[in-house]
Amino acid sequence: MTVTIALPDEPEEPEADTVPRKLKITPEIAAEFLSRNSVNRRLDNGQVEALREAILRNEWQVTHQGIAFDRSGRLLDGQHRLHAIIDAGVPVEMFVFDGLSEDAFPVLDTGKRRSAADTLSSTGEKYLTLLSSTIRHVLLFRTMPNEPWTGVRSRVSNDRTLAEYKANVDSYRVAVTVGRELAKHMFASQTALAVGYFLTTEAAPAADIDDWISGLKSGANLDPGDARLVLREVPKDTVKRGSRRRLDMRDQVSMYIKAWNAWVRPEAAGELVLRSLRKNEKMPMPVEERFTR
Protein backbone atom coordinates (compact mmCIF):
# COMPACT_ATOMS: atom_id res chain seq x y z
CA MET A 1 0.00 0.00 0.00
CA THR A 2 1.41 3.35 -1.02
CA VAL A 3 0.80 6.37 1.15
CA THR A 4 1.09 9.74 -0.51
CA ILE A 5 1.73 12.79 1.63
CA ALA A 6 0.77 16.08 0.06
CA LEU A 7 3.37 18.79 0.52
CA PRO A 8 2.70 22.49 0.07
CA ASP A 9 4.04 24.00 -3.13
CA GLU A 10 5.67 26.84 -1.19
CA PRO A 11 7.02 26.83 2.38
CA GLU A 12 4.93 28.78 4.76
CA GLU A 13 6.10 32.32 5.33
CA PRO A 14 7.03 33.21 8.88
CA GLU A 15 4.85 35.68 10.66
CA ALA A 16 5.68 39.13 9.38
CA ASP A 17 6.27 40.54 12.84
CA THR A 18 8.84 37.87 13.84
CA VAL A 19 12.06 39.27 12.38
CA PRO A 20 15.57 38.05 13.28
CA ARG A 21 18.42 40.55 12.94
CA LYS A 22 22.12 40.35 13.71
CA LEU A 23 23.18 43.13 16.02
CA LYS A 24 26.40 44.16 17.77
CA ILE A 25 25.22 44.50 21.34
CA THR A 26 27.23 46.93 23.45
CA PRO A 27 27.02 47.03 27.26
CA GLU A 28 24.77 50.08 26.90
CA ILE A 29 22.39 48.27 24.55
CA ALA A 30 22.45 45.24 26.84
CA ALA A 31 21.40 47.40 29.79
CA GLU A 32 18.56 48.88 27.76
CA PHE A 33 17.39 45.42 26.70
CA LEU A 34 17.48 44.22 30.31
CA SER A 35 15.27 47.12 31.33
CA ARG A 36 12.52 45.33 29.36
CA ASN A 37 12.95 42.16 31.41
CA SER A 38 9.77 41.24 33.25
CA VAL A 39 9.16 37.51 32.73
CA ASN A 40 12.62 35.86 32.72
CA ARG A 41 13.80 33.14 35.06
CA ARG A 42 16.00 33.70 38.11
CA LEU A 43 19.55 34.73 37.22
CA ASP A 44 22.25 32.05 37.37
CA ASN A 45 25.39 33.98 38.34
CA GLY A 46 27.60 31.03 37.44
CA GLN A 47 26.25 30.99 33.91
CA VAL A 48 26.81 34.74 33.60
CA GLU A 49 30.40 34.33 34.78
CA ALA A 50 31.06 31.50 32.32
CA LEU A 51 29.72 33.58 29.41
CA ARG A 52 31.70 36.61 30.56
CA GLU A 53 34.93 34.60 30.62
CA ALA A 54 34.22 33.30 27.11
CA ILE A 55 33.74 36.85 25.87
CA LEU A 56 36.96 38.05 27.50
CA ARG A 57 38.88 35.13 25.98
CA ASN A 58 37.52 36.14 22.56
CA GLU A 59 35.72 32.80 22.28
CA TRP A 60 32.25 34.18 21.66
CA GLN A 61 30.59 32.75 18.55
CA VAL A 62 27.38 33.78 16.85
CA THR A 63 24.82 30.96 16.95
CA HIS A 64 21.05 30.68 16.61
CA GLN A 65 20.78 31.44 20.31
CA GLY A 66 20.41 35.12 21.05
CA ILE A 67 17.95 37.65 22.40
CA ALA A 68 14.18 37.38 22.04
CA PHE A 69 11.39 39.91 22.62
CA ASP A 70 7.66 39.35 22.53
CA ARG A 71 5.19 41.43 20.56
CA SER A 72 4.92 43.89 23.43
CA GLY A 73 8.68 44.44 23.48
CA ARG A 74 9.29 42.47 26.67
CA LEU A 75 12.49 40.42 26.97
CA LEU A 76 11.73 36.69 26.73
CA ASP A 77 15.18 35.15 26.40
CA GLY A 78 18.84 36.18 26.70
CA GLN A 79 19.20 37.78 30.10
CA HIS A 80 22.34 35.79 30.96
CA ARG A 81 24.02 36.81 27.71
CA LEU A 82 23.12 40.44 28.30
CA HIS A 83 24.44 40.44 31.85
CA ALA A 84 27.67 38.80 30.61
CA ILE A 85 28.17 41.57 28.03
CA ILE A 86 27.74 44.22 30.72
CA ASP A 87 30.12 42.47 33.12
CA ALA A 88 32.73 41.95 30.37
CA GLY A 89 32.38 45.50 29.06
CA VAL A 90 32.82 44.15 25.54
CA PRO A 91 30.31 44.32 22.65
CA VAL A 92 29.47 41.07 20.86
CA GLU A 93 27.30 40.13 17.91
CA MET A 94 24.23 37.94 18.24
CA PHE A 95 20.82 37.47 16.71
CA VAL A 96 17.88 39.41 18.09
CA PHE A 97 14.35 38.12 17.51
CA ASP A 98 11.46 40.56 17.72
CA GLY A 99 7.75 39.83 17.82
CA LEU A 100 7.60 36.36 19.36
CA SER A 101 4.33 35.21 20.82
CA GLU A 102 4.01 35.59 24.57
CA ASP A 103 3.17 31.87 24.62
CA ALA A 104 6.75 31.04 23.52
CA PHE A 105 8.37 31.79 26.88
CA PRO A 106 7.57 28.47 28.62
CA VAL A 107 9.37 26.47 25.93
CA LEU A 108 12.50 28.60 25.56
CA ASP A 109 15.76 26.90 26.61
CA THR A 110 13.98 23.94 28.20
CA GLY A 111 16.19 21.33 26.55
CA LYS A 112 19.12 19.66 28.29
CA ARG A 113 22.26 21.77 28.21
CA ARG A 114 24.92 20.30 25.90
CA SER A 115 27.90 18.93 27.82
CA ALA A 116 31.52 19.00 26.70
CA ALA A 117 31.28 15.25 26.07
CA ASP A 118 28.24 15.87 23.84
CA THR A 119 30.24 18.45 21.90
CA LEU A 120 33.06 15.96 21.33
CA SER A 121 30.71 13.20 20.16
CA SER A 122 31.10 14.27 16.53
CA THR A 123 34.83 13.43 16.67
CA GLY A 124 34.19 9.69 16.77
CA GLU A 125 36.41 9.30 19.85
CA LYS A 126 35.77 6.72 22.55
CA TYR A 127 35.50 7.47 26.26
CA LEU A 128 34.08 10.95 25.70
CA THR A 129 33.51 11.70 29.38
CA LEU A 130 37.13 10.92 30.22
CA LEU A 131 38.36 12.83 27.17
CA SER A 132 36.37 15.96 27.97
CA SER A 133 37.40 15.84 31.63
CA THR A 134 41.06 15.46 30.64
CA ILE A 135 40.91 18.44 28.31
CA ARG A 136 39.13 20.56 30.91
CA HIS A 137 41.73 19.88 33.58
CA VAL A 138 44.66 20.45 31.21
CA LEU A 139 43.18 23.87 30.43
CA LEU A 140 42.67 24.59 34.13
CA PHE A 141 46.29 23.64 34.82
CA ARG A 142 47.42 26.10 32.19
CA THR A 143 45.18 28.99 33.21
CA MET A 144 44.69 28.66 36.98
CA PRO A 145 47.15 26.09 38.38
CA ASN A 146 47.18 27.59 41.87
CA GLU A 147 43.44 28.08 42.29
CA PRO A 148 40.71 25.54 43.08
CA TRP A 149 39.50 23.57 40.07
CA THR A 150 35.91 23.72 41.27
CA GLY A 151 33.22 26.36 41.27
CA VAL A 152 32.17 29.00 38.78
CA ARG A 153 35.64 30.08 37.68
CA SER A 154 36.59 26.53 36.73
CA ARG A 155 33.94 26.24 34.04
CA VAL A 156 35.32 25.63 30.54
CA SER A 157 33.20 26.36 27.49
CA ASN A 158 32.38 23.64 24.99
CA ASP A 159 33.89 25.68 22.17
CA ARG A 160 37.15 25.95 24.06
CA THR A 161 37.17 22.22 24.78
CA LEU A 162 36.64 21.36 21.13
CA ALA A 163 39.31 23.82 19.95
CA GLU A 164 41.85 22.34 22.37
CA TYR A 165 41.01 18.83 21.23
CA LYS A 166 41.47 19.74 17.56
CA ALA A 167 44.84 21.33 18.32
CA ASN A 168 46.16 18.17 20.04
CA VAL A 169 44.12 15.24 18.74
CA ASP A 170 46.81 12.57 18.84
CA SER A 171 48.21 13.65 22.21
CA TYR A 172 44.82 13.54 23.90
CA ARG A 173 43.98 10.20 22.34
CA VAL A 174 47.16 8.68 23.76
CA ALA A 175 46.69 10.39 27.13
CA VAL A 176 43.22 8.90 27.55
CA THR A 177 44.51 5.43 26.69
CA VAL A 178 47.39 5.75 29.16
CA GLY A 179 45.13 7.15 31.88
CA ARG A 180 42.77 4.20 31.60
CA GLU A 181 45.62 1.71 31.74
CA LEU A 182 47.59 3.28 34.60
CA ALA A 183 44.47 3.61 36.78
CA LYS A 184 44.44 -0.19 37.03
CA HIS A 185 47.76 -0.10 38.88
CA MET A 186 47.79 3.17 40.81
CA PHE A 187 45.93 5.34 43.31
CA ALA A 188 44.84 8.14 41.00
CA SER A 189 41.79 8.56 38.81
CA GLN A 190 41.87 8.00 35.08
CA THR A 191 41.48 11.73 34.49
CA ALA A 192 44.36 12.72 36.80
CA LEU A 193 46.67 10.19 35.18
CA ALA A 194 45.67 11.24 31.67
CA VAL A 195 46.22 14.90 32.58
CA GLY A 196 49.57 14.14 34.20
CA TYR A 197 50.70 12.13 31.20
CA PHE A 198 49.62 14.82 28.73
CA LEU A 199 51.33 17.66 30.59
CA THR A 200 54.60 15.89 31.32
CA THR A 201 55.10 14.39 27.89
CA GLU A 202 54.25 17.75 26.34
CA ALA A 203 57.00 19.36 28.41
CA ALA A 204 59.55 16.56 28.03
CA PRO A 205 59.12 14.74 24.71
CA ALA A 206 62.78 13.65 24.75
CA ALA A 207 62.40 11.66 27.97
CA ASP A 208 62.14 7.87 27.85
CA ILE A 209 58.38 7.83 28.20
CA ASP A 210 58.02 4.10 27.53
CA ASP A 211 60.36 3.32 30.44
CA TRP A 212 58.37 5.64 32.71
CA ILE A 213 55.07 3.99 31.83
CA SER A 214 56.33 0.40 32.07
CA GLY A 215 57.75 1.08 35.52
CA LEU A 216 54.46 2.54 36.72
CA LYS A 217 52.52 -0.42 35.41
CA SER A 218 54.61 -3.22 36.87
CA GLY A 219 56.82 -1.76 39.59
CA ALA A 220 59.16 -4.67 38.91
CA ASN A 221 62.89 -4.35 39.60
CA LEU A 222 62.64 -0.74 40.73
CA ASP A 223 65.03 0.55 43.38
CA PRO A 224 63.41 1.64 46.66
CA GLY A 225 63.99 5.32 45.90
CA ASP A 226 62.76 5.17 42.31
CA ALA A 227 60.17 7.92 41.73
CA ARG A 228 57.90 5.49 39.89
CA LEU A 229 57.81 3.17 42.90
CA VAL A 230 57.10 6.07 45.26
CA LEU A 231 54.19 7.14 43.06
CA ARG A 232 52.85 3.59 42.87
CA GLU A 233 52.90 3.28 46.65
CA VAL A 234 50.64 6.24 47.37
CA PRO A 235 47.80 4.55 49.31
CA LYS A 236 44.82 3.78 47.16
CA ASP A 237 42.42 4.55 50.01
CA THR A 238 43.26 8.25 49.65
CA VAL A 239 40.87 8.48 46.71
CA LYS A 240 38.11 6.13 47.79
CA ARG A 241 34.66 7.61 47.70
CA GLY A 242 33.76 9.16 51.04
CA SER A 243 37.27 8.95 52.47
CA ARG A 244 38.31 11.93 54.59
CA ARG A 245 41.76 11.62 53.12
CA ARG A 246 40.49 11.76 49.59
CA LEU A 247 42.77 13.69 47.23
CA ASP A 248 41.25 16.20 44.86
CA MET A 249 42.24 16.51 41.22
CA ARG A 250 44.94 19.12 41.84
CA ASP A 251 46.54 16.90 44.50
CA GLN A 252 46.59 13.88 42.22
CA VAL A 253 48.03 15.79 39.26
CA SER A 254 50.63 17.47 41.48
CA MET A 255 51.84 14.10 42.79
CA TYR A 256 52.18 12.75 39.27
CA ILE A 257 54.21 15.78 38.17
CA LYS A 258 56.43 15.72 41.28
CA ALA A 259 57.25 12.07 40.70
CA TRP A 260 57.89 12.69 37.00
CA ASN A 261 60.21 15.61 37.75
CA ALA A 262 62.16 13.52 40.25
CA TRP A 263 62.49 10.71 37.72
CA VAL A 264 63.61 12.94 34.85
CA ARG A 265 66.03 14.95 37.02
CA PRO A 266 66.97 12.66 39.95
CA GLU A 267 70.10 14.69 40.70
CA ALA A 268 67.94 17.67 41.71
CA ALA A 269 65.12 15.81 43.40
CA GLY A 270 66.38 14.87 46.85
CA GLU A 271 64.07 12.63 48.87
CA LEU A 272 60.71 12.38 47.15
CA VAL A 273 57.68 12.74 49.43
CA LEU A 274 54.24 12.73 47.83
CA ARG A 275 51.40 14.38 49.74
CA SER A 276 48.51 16.76 49.26
CA LEU A 277 49.29 20.32 48.31
CA ARG A 278 49.63 22.42 51.43
CA LYS A 279 47.98 25.80 51.89
CA ASN A 280 49.56 28.36 49.53
CA GLU A 281 51.77 25.66 47.96
CA LYS A 282 52.04 26.20 44.24
CA MET A 283 51.37 23.52 41.66
CA PRO A 284 54.64 22.01 40.37
CA MET A 285 55.49 22.57 36.73
CA PRO A 286 56.76 19.66 34.60
CA VAL A 287 60.47 19.87 33.85
CA GLU A 288 61.38 20.16 30.21
CA GLU A 289 63.40 17.63 28.27
CA ARG A 290 63.62 18.71 24.66
CA PHE A 291 65.36 17.18 21.67
CA THR A 292 68.49 19.07 20.64
CA ARG A 293 68.94 20.08 17.05
Contact 130, 176 (CB under 8 A): yes
Domains and CATH numbers, the chain: 19-105 (3.90.1530.10), 116-268 (no CATH)
Q: In sequence order, which residues have a C-beta less than 8 Å from that of residue 67 and are 6 or more positions away?
A: 25, 33, 75, 77, 78, 81, 82, 94, 95, 96, 97
Mean per-residue pLDDT pooled into runs of 10, the chain (293 residues): 46 53 93 82 79 86 85 87 94 90 59 74 90 97 95 84 94 97 93 98 94 94 90 70 67 96 84 88 92 63
Query: What per-residue confidence (pLDDT) applies to 49?
Result: 85
- pLDDT at site 238: 55
Mapping DSSP onto H, E and C, the string for the chain reads CCCCCCCCCCCCCCCCCCEEEEEEECHHHHHHHHCCECCCCCCCHHHHHHHHHHHHCCCCCCCCCCEEEECCCCEEECHHHHHHHHHHCCCEEEEEEEEECHHHHHHCCCCCCCCHHHHHHHHCCCCHHHHHHHHHHHHHHHHCCCCCCCCHHHCCCHHHHHHHHHHCHHHHHHHHHHHHHHCCCCCCCHHHHHHHHHHHHHHCCCCCHHHHHHHHHHCCCCCCCCHHHHHHCCCHHHHCCCCCCCCCHHHHHHHHHHHHHHHHCHHHCCCCCCCCCCCCCCCCCCCCCCCCC
Q: How far apart are CA 137 and CA 148, in angstroms?
A: 11
The per-residue pLDDT for 5 is 42
The model's pTM = 0.69
The per-residue pLDDT for 272 is 85
Residue 19: phi and psi, rounded to 5, are -125, 115
Where b means 16+ CB within 10 Å and e means fewer, 37-58 reads eeebeeeeeebbbbbbbbbeee
pLDDT number for residue 110: 47
Report CA 61 to chain centroid distance, whole Å.
17
